[in-house]
Amino acid sequence: MKRVLLTVAYDGTSYHGFQIQKNAPTIAGELLRAIRDLTGCDAELLGGSRTDAGVHAFSNKTAFDTDSPIEADKFAYALNARLPEDIRVTASREVPGDFHPLRVPSRKTYEYRILNTEFPDPVSRLHTVHVHVPLDDARMDEASKYLLGEHDFASFCSAGSQVESTVRTIHEIGVSKEPLRDRSGRMRRDGKRSPSGLLIIRVTGNGFLYNMVRIIAGTLMEVGRGAMEPEEVLAVLEAHDRDKAGPTAPPQGLFLVRYEFTDIGNPLEKGAPF
């Protein structure tokens, strides 16, 4: 018996999230089907970030036990041959039999991507959220810094969450704007930043509450369009009241880009597609 840790990338568009559900396609459901096809045995997934329907991942992590003679690092290739194209196992490695993803300290990094342009873009429509109102990324970045550190993030947690504590630590957070390469081939003559661009909210923490990143994104977008002042984010945080924060931003802009276990090194060293 060995325990295998998988790094999984997926396009969440066609799935009802990571967590297995009856009668609905899920990432976990596809992984378990592929493991059964490959090993002939049912398995159970240990951990795995429970991304919502429509949310994407470049690097989710989940583990399973198997008696298969297949070498742990060969599972990535063998499972990919049995998975749909919108799910790829980008790394597989053996971990100690007592390793459980949910019982070790970890750091996750999420990105929320906002296409801030006059017209929506058909090509990226399922992997960004389109906002046509100009957003001020500098104001959003300033506002985001109030969330750094350890806080009670109750204002940024959707109802229905069962967690004991709403205290989490955000290690890094910031908002950047990537001026979009003019798809028609023309850069602005004056060399100035294009008024439109791809805004990326990037946040790293030791754990996140239900919808926490999407509520942070919805709140920072309020600041970006001028409906809130950056310093108001501090009042929202201190209110411990979900109703004080902005709306929950749509799922398709959210990506789990990094998931590390801080005590076993980074299983991502090899294999990640990017």
Residues carrying an active site annotation: 52
Subset of 122-141 contacting a copy of itself (CB under 8 A): 122-123, 125, 127
Nearest CB to a copy of itself, comparing residues 13 and 19: 13
Q: Which residues contact 140 (CB under 8 A, 6 or more apart)?
A: 175, 199, 201, 220, 221, 223, 224, 230
Q: Which of 45, 32, 47, 52 shows the shortest CA–CA distance to 256?
A: 52
Nearest CB to a copy of itself, comparing residues 87 and 215: 87
Site string for a copy of itself, 178-197 (x = CB under 8 A): --xxxxxxx---------x-
Cα separation, 47 vs 130, whole angstroms: 32
Rule CB under 8 A: is residue 34 a binding residue for a copy of itself? no
Taking CB under 8 A as the binding criterion, the range among 63-71, 120-128, 213-221, 223-231 that sits at the site for a copy of itself is 120-128
Q: Which run of H or E residues covers position 110?
A: strand 106-116
Bin 168: left if φ > 0, else alpha if -120 < ψ < 50, else beta: beta
Taking CB under 8 A as the binding criterion, the range among 3-11, 43-51, 92-100, 143-151 that sits at the site for a copy of itself is 3-11
Taking CB under 8 A as the binding criterion, the range among 92-100, 135-143, 175-183, 240-248 that sits at the site for a copy of itself is 175-183
Phi (first) and psi of residue 253, to 5 degrees: -85, -5
Q: Count of residues binding a copy of itself (CB under 8 A)?
A: 43
CA distances from 202 to 50, 109, 156, 273 (A): 18, 7, 16, 19
- Residue 114 near residue 127 (C-beta atoms within 8 A): no
Q: Which residues bind a copy of itself (CB under 8 A)?
A: 9-11, 56, 58-59, 76, 80, 85-88, 90, 109, 115, 117-123, 125, 127, 180-186, 196, 202, 204, 255, 257-258, 266, 268, 271-274
